[in-house]
Amino acid sequence: MNSREVALNIINRVLEEGAYSNLVLSKELNDSDLNEKDRALVTELVYGTIRRKKTLDIIISNYVKDISLMEDGVLNILRMAIYQMHFLDKVPDFAACNEAVELSKNISLQSSKLVNGILRSYTKNPDDIEVSDSPIDKLVYTYSYEPWFIRMIYKQYGEENGRKILAGLNATPKVTVRVNTNKADFDEVYEKLEEMGYDVEEGYACPEAIIIKGGSSIENNELFREGYITVQDESAMLVAPLLDINEGDVVLDLCSAPGGKTTHAAELLEGTGKVYAFDLHENKLSLITENVERLGLNNVEVDAMDATKLNSKYVSMADKVLIDVPCSGLGIIRKKPEIKWNKSRKSLKDLVPTQREIMENAWQYLKQGGTMIYSTCTLNNEENGENVEWFLNKHKDAVIEKIFLGNMDNFIYEKNGALTILPNEYMDGFYIAKISKK
């Protein structure tokens, strides 16, 4: 299979079968014999086409009466071709067009004629796309989101930050790694990566972060395999240090998989204390265990547990509790663009009771004088600030601590002391609140 066939296959699976883009992409690339350049093209086509689906559909709708009557396979071929023509400079239009026509011949001759006709019409006048005059439709065309999402973000964040979020979630994410300070110091790892031919720079917001700007896949790198580094977004890297971990602390991470924050907490304990890492899904526990073993940590215990059900065994046991609760994931659209299309306003509201149950139980596991971190990778205030306010009103022994991590232009310090991180090319959208038990 050539690169465009592989890309189309993945796009079909994500948009038609609801598969996760990152997992399917990783599997298909591992199973293929494509070279580095072709693998990069597949990645670009998959993420780009899914990310810009709404814009691409508006363009295609200029050339067909009713886009909803088109076959899914044909529509995805058109989306992928127009993504290349509209958004990529390095692919010549004729190449994208010819490849699309060839791909559509696999469906039917009729389909290939339709695809050829639409793409040739588009290349004649690519700037004459009609978009309705309503301000929201213009934003839908420019940034490619569902209208309800744009309205919600603008309502919660205002126009200026709203635009930052819409643009930031469309940014191509950088690969960032966290240095395992139990095994090596930062400079040592940084220099070793440079020697191995990686293009690296220091983290954007985190002292233990290294940004990998170029080089071969990091998971096949010996520093990764031997546990000197682990892949983690810089937003997530901020969480564990905010627990103010002391030697010998008992830390509970109630929603641990795949274990990024768990292992970070364990590293900060420097071989002392204990981190209890729980997750609801048994099948995800192996991910945590793999990371713990690779990083050489011996102070972590991994177990299956439902964070929404109180387990009396852990009541008043923890010095620190971390709850990175299940959320709508709107802050990680850069890495999983299909989130744009598989969430609804209702699905966001449905998460709130679960998040509140987890907060209630976490509070019971925490000793007096202990610290709880509530974090999410979403930007929806109902799952963030509103949950924290609800919790503080209910628990008179809960005090929110002020977080301050320097003046970054994508950090919003909330009035109550919590931190909202706006997405950009370096960081996912994120929310962190730090609550002490007096």
279 annotated ligand binder: yes
Amino acid letter for position 42: V
Is there a cis peptide before residue 147, judged by omega within 30 degrees of 0? Answer: no
The SS3 assignment for 370 reads: strand
258 annotated ligand binder: yes
The answer to whether 377 is a known catalytic residue is: yes
370 annotated ligand binder: no
Spot the catalytic one: 97, 206, 327, 377.
377
206 annotated ligand binder: no
97 annotated ligand binder: no
Q: Which two tokens stand for residue 207?
A: 């002292």
257 annotated ligand binder: yes
Cβ neighbours around 142 below 10 Å, total: 16
327 annotated ligand binder: no
How far, in Å, are 6, 21, 38, 42, 76 from residue 32 at the CA level? 8, 16, 10, 11, 21
Instruction: Show the 3-state SS of 243-309.
Output: HCCCCCCEEEECCCCCCHHHHHHHHHCCCCCEEEEEECCHHHHHHHHHHHHHCCCCCEEEEECCCCC
260 annotated ligand binder: yes
Amino acid letter for position 412: I
Report the alpha-carbon distance of residue 198 to residue 217 in Å, rounded. 10
259 annotated ligand binder: yes
397 annotated ligand binder: no
Chain Cα centroid distance, residue 422: 12
User: Which residues contribute to the annotated binding site for S-adenosyl-L-methionine?
Assistant: 255-261, 279, 306, 324
User: Which residues contribute to the annotated binding site?
Assistant: 255-261, 279, 306, 324
- Give me the active site residues, please: 377
